[in-house]
Amino acid sequence: MTTNADEPPARPRRAPAGAAVLREDVTEAIRAAVFEELAAVGYGRMSIEGIARRAGVGKTAVYRRWRSKLNLVLDVVSAMAVLGLPAPDTGSLEGDLRLLYEVMSRALRHPVASQIIPDLQAEAARNPEMAETLQKAVRDGQDGVASKIVAAARERGEVNADLDLDLALDLISGPLYWRAVIIRSPKLPKGYLANLAKATAGALKAL
pLDDT in tens, 165-180: 989 989 998 898 888 8
| pLDDT value of residue 42 | 87
Spell out the SS3 assignment of the chain. Answer: CCCCCCCCCCCCCCCCCCCCCCCHHHHHHHHHHHHHHHHHHHHHHCCHHHHHHHHCCCHHHHHCCCCCHHHHHHHHHHHHHHHCCCCCCCCCHHHHHHHHHHHHHHHHCCHHHHHHHHHHHHHHCCCHHHHHHHHHHHHHHHHHHHHHHHHHHHHHCCCCCCCCHHHHHHHHHHHHHHHHHHCCCCCCCCCHHHHHHHHHHHHHHHC
Give pTM, 2 decimals: 0.67
Q: Mind listing the pLDDT tens digit for each residue in 76-90?
A: 877 765 555 667 889
